[in-house]
Amino acid sequence: MGVSSWKAGYMGAGREVSNAALVKLLKVELGEALSAHGFVASEALDPTWGRWYARRVAGGVSDVVSAVAVGFGQDRYGGVSVAGYAVLQSRTVNDILVALPAESRLKYETEDRLPFAFLHYNGFGDFLDPPYTALTHVVIEPSQVAGAAEWFTGQVSDHVEGWLAERDSLDKLIVLARTPSPRAPDNISPSVFRRTVVLCIANGRFSDAAALMAWYLQRGKFNVMDSMEKTTAFDIALSEMFPVYAAARLRE
């Protein structure tokens, strides 16, 4: 199920009230179930998505939250489909990215979307092998609400908690920024890389940020969203904004 299908819109007058009632019941049940994992209802990390539940990341990483999002959609048989996503986000990182010049941005990055960018992101279906991006749990009637909450928190216990534990410190995030996709061994995610560099700067880890940048530029391999020109512009913009980072780059 795509992100766009998370937006409210229950088609069919005969089911409109019952679907709205089911979503209301699901929100209550999921909120209670997720609180056992330390997640509490939060403001939307992305206003175009569903219901958000967040907690702070441990490990001394400044201004990073981990969260799960619940998406509610219209099932083709008339019920409510429930989807889940796990994310890490830093508002400080996003604010810095928004302030950088347009020529330093990745392809398809826009100023209106950067405030809601994620450090890391995984749909529940992405945890499966092979991945199944359309993974949802369908609820037809109120008696199935508790089962949906159990399914969702089962995904959190079985997959999300481990995924977040692999990302609960800046040192771990730095390692992941250098780690290629298992399905594309030469592909380093440019968005993960860039957000990690900025996160290092936001946490005063200027030498780590400079070392990451030097490694990425020397590597000289870019996917379709990035290029040597865009990365160089990104590096220069950060150097102009953060003199301590600029000094660290000179030492690399």
User: Which of 135-149, 165-179, 180-194 bottoms out in mean pLDDT, i.e. has the lowest?
Assistant: 180-194
Q: What are the start-end ranges of the E strands in 39-189?
A: 40-41, 51-56, 65-74, 80-89, 120-123, 137-139
Distances (CA, A) of 229 to 102, 189, 210, 217, 232: 12, 16, 17, 10, 5
Distance CA 29, CA 103 (A): 46
Nearest to 45 by CA among 54, 58, 34: 54
Per-residue pLDDT tens over the stretch 211-242: 999 999 999 999 899 999 999 999 999 999 99
Per-residue pLDDT tens over the stretch 29-71: 999 999 999 999 999 999 888 899 999 876 668 789 999 999 9
pLDDT band at 13 (very low <50, low <70, confident <90, very high): very low
Distance CA 103, CA 117 (A): 18
* Position 9 pLDDT exceeds 70: no
State the pLDDT at residue 233: 98
Paired tokens of 161: 């908690």
**Mean pLDDT over all residues of the chain?**
89
State the pLDDT at residue 57: 76
Angle at 192 between CA 196 and CA 125, to 5 degrees: 135
Decide if 239 contacts 101 (C-beta within 8 A): no
- The residue extents of the domains of the chain are 3-165, 170-251
* Position 11 pLDDT exceeds 70: no
Q: What is the pTM for the complete model shown?
A: 0.88
Per-residue pLDDT tens over the stretch 128-171: 989 998 899 999 999 999 999 999 999 999 999 999 999 999 99
Distances (CA, A) of 170 to 61, 174, 183, 186: 6, 6, 24, 23
